[in-house]
Structure 1
């Protein structure tokens, strides 16, 4: 099979021929039709993200495809089924040990998983754990690229489930101008949020969110001055804030995190899903007396995937909101560059092997 291979950090992806994967107990072979390219893929491939990744590897975290060969212990999946391939592969004897297939292994204990399910979706075919493929039902082949938005939508969905968002509640999404934060606005509204306060630094992207989603979204441009940002968030909410979903990037400071966290009501919830590397000075007294829940959430449960597919099928989330740009496998390096330059919440970049 043809694949885009990362042979060393800092080198371009090379289009090479790799052995076809073989089905085995617990794993199915999928013909990859569309694979999403993240905006930070270039930073993974040049090594600046310091992701644990054994080279050479065909990267690519998940995608959309059709089953080519089923595992002998599968009873429902059939050859030809359209499926979403979930990248989070968990050890069967310790779920805390996990990898993102074709992307990174999170702990040394997970290295055997990385070696078994080594190659990702920037390839014509890949071997995927049986439990990591979810049937989509029939879709048009031309729409496969849009369905890669599942990977974008599911991450905030996992956070909103972790925070138990309820219909009618007010939510602050911190970092709403990024890919996951912007997708979180759509998901929260689909789940029945009464009001979403979207915060970020890009006024054009914030205005676009309000324009697309209407009066249930209010935008707050963050200045970096904590007192001013806190005041503006409270004014936009015009009432109690039930939950904060944080998607701030690695470059964000602790002060940027603090303002949204300080706005949540008594008994509210704070869900951290971003990449911030700063230490947070959380007040013991405030956490106790306001009875706040602060929780980290990484990715999402497998149960979230069919739920999100149902939401899309029901029309609660419209995949046409995403602007799709597709590249052939031979253009993988162009796809990586394009994704980095077009990192907004509505932009999807895909490779079509």
Structure 2
């Protein structure tokens, strides 16, 4: 099969012909019909993920058609249209038994622990636990855009933030994760303040339901600006970028007993950010992480999509081919493209 492969961290990836995957007894092989290009893939490419073994095929936001099925798989057959969370559970550890596959002790992550979806085919493990069937009405491009950013935002806003109608939600960073969070919070009836340094991204945030925006490059104190807009601070605030500055601002702009949800990855030199702990104590703030979403939670999100309350297709910025994915991957840290980039030609 054709795949994007890098043989050293930060070295230019190449299109190569590599062996087709074969299914594990508990797994399937999926013909990739679409795959998103995510900043997490960039983190992997530069060497921030210790699970990656070289040479490596990136890609974890995928949708496609089941091509081959392992002998122990009971719920899926060849031809099924599927997607998969970027964190898969083993099904046997205490976390999986509690329903928390997103923090499985022996988790499977396509594009990180194993070869991913920047390829014509990808092998997926523990299919009966981790695969999600796609509605016939959903196209593969939209389905791929769910894979990491949208489902991660859904869990962050709904399950971790417990956002409710009428609350103020601040979203710091309006890339794919942030824009997804804005759409989801707005659908729940919350009032969203979007924060970014790009007017193009802030305009997109307003189009997706943000009632106010803050250009962080034009104000002196972002947290104070959010507190003024929300008349006391956000009830829920997300760092959707993953940077010490956005993390700090997200915590500092909370009202008393508010929740900060860390969604953007904090890796390498950003892994130990300064936290305004005096505010955490004095205001009784909550600091929460959010790491993907379990396959069994997709139904709630898909129902909101079926009803028209969520329209993730609006987040798609451009579609490209597999060759173009190389440039899209290595330039992810420039934040040049608004919306989600999806590979649709292999």
1:196 aligned counterpart, secondary structure: strand
Aligned-residue offset at 1:155: 1.3
Aligned-residue offset at 1:3: 2.1
Aligned-residue offset at 1:51: 4.8
TM-score by length of 2: 0.83
Closer, same or farther: CA 300–270 of 1 in aligned 2, 3 Å: same
Closer, same or farther: CA 99–144 of 1 in aligned 2, 3 Å: same
Q: How does 1:259-338 map to 2 (within 5 A)?
A: 259-276=249-266, 277=270, 278-284=272-278, 286-336=279-329
Aligned counterpart in structure 2 of residue 162 of structure 1, from 142, 160, 172:
160
* Alpha-carbon displacement from aligned partner over 1:11-68 (angstroms, at most 9, x marks no partner): 33333333332233321111111111124645533x3535541112222113000111
Closer, same or farther: CA 206–327 of 1 in aligned 2, 3 Å: closer
1:98 aligned counterpart, secondary structure: coil
Cα distance in 1 for residues equivalent to 2:108 and 2:39 = 20
Native 8 Å contact 2:226 2:234 kept in 1: no
Closer, same or farther: CA 173–22 of 1 in aligned 2, 3 Å: same
Cα distance in 2 for residues equivalent to 1:230 and 1:341 = 24
* Alpha-carbon displacement from aligned partner over 1:217-266 (angstroms, at most 9, x marks no partner): 2101224976x32331122113553111122334x43xx53344233222
Aligned counterpart in structure 2 of residue 199 of structure 1, from 185, 195, 202:
195
Closer, same or farther: CA 262–68 of 1 in aligned 2, 3 Å: same
* Alpha-carbon displacement from aligned partner over 1:321-342 (angstroms, at most 9, x marks no partner): 1344333334442443575666
Native 8 Å contact 2:240 2:264 kept in 1: yes
Cα distance in 1 for residues equivalent to 2:326 and 2:273 = 35
Closer, same or farther: CA 352–304 of 1 in aligned 2, 3 Å: farther
Aligned-residue offset at 1:82: 0.9
TM-score by length of 1: 0.82
Aligned-residue offset at 1:350: 1.6
Matched, 1:349 2:345: no
Q: How does 1:115-194 map to 2 (within 5 A)?
A: 118-129=114-125, 130=127, 131-139=129-137, 143-151=139-147, 152-160=149-157, 161-175=159-173, 177-193=174-190
Computed over aligned residues only, the root mean square deviation of the Cα atoms, in angstroms, reads 2.8
Q: How many residues align?
A: 328
Cα distance in 1 for residues equivalent to 2:277 and 2:43 = 34
Closer, same or farther: CA 344–306 of 1 in aligned 2, 3 Å: farther
1:242 aligned counterpart, secondary structure: strand
* Alpha-carbon displacement from aligned partner over 1:84-113 (angstroms, at most 9, x marks no partner): 12221334444234343222xxxxxxxxxx
Native 8 Å contact 1:338 1:349 kept in 2: no
Cα distance in 2 for residues equivalent to 1:48 and 1:58 = 13
Cα distance in 2 for residues equivalent to 1:328 and 1:247 = 27
Cα distance in 2 for residues equivalent to 1:72 and 1:156 = 34
Give 1:16's aligned residue.
16
Provide structure 2 residue ranges, at least 5 long, that are not aligned to the other structure: 94-103
Closer, same or farther: CA 270–42 of 1 in aligned 2, 3 Å: closer
Provide structure 1 residue ranges, at least 5 long, that are not aligned to the other structure: 104-113
Cα distance in 2 for residues equivalent to 1:257 and 1:119 = 31
